[in-house]
Amino acid sequence: MPDNKSKIVTFRLTDDEFKQFKTLCDANGTRSVSEVARFAIESVIHGDIELPQAQLRAQVRQLDDKVAVLDRKVEDIVQRLGK
């Protein structure tokens, strides 16, 4: 089945970002910068790579869980000391 790529996405890079992008392309033998960009986007869509916000949310959830555990332990200690 042919690849029907009909949409165009444009974004800007600094000179350094483009050099890094191009180096990545050359090192991995990809045909173009666009191919690497598509791969990166597909990786995010499929959950293989998390965006910084998603990573931050996951870390906050972990911290919330740890604080809840600590809160329960402190409450337990307070109750034991009160007896």
pLDDT in tens, 20-36: 988 988 888 888 888 88
Rg of the chain taking only CA atoms, in angstroms: 23
Q: How confident is the model at residue 63 (pLDDT cuts 50, 70, 90)?
A: very high
Dihedral angle sign, alpha carbons of residues 51, 53, 59, 61: negative
pTM score, two decimals?
0.48
DSSP secondary structure letter of residue 4: -
Instruction: Measure the CA–CA gap between 32 and 45, rounded to whole angstroms.
Output: 20
Q: Where are the domains of the chain?
A: 10-49, 51-83
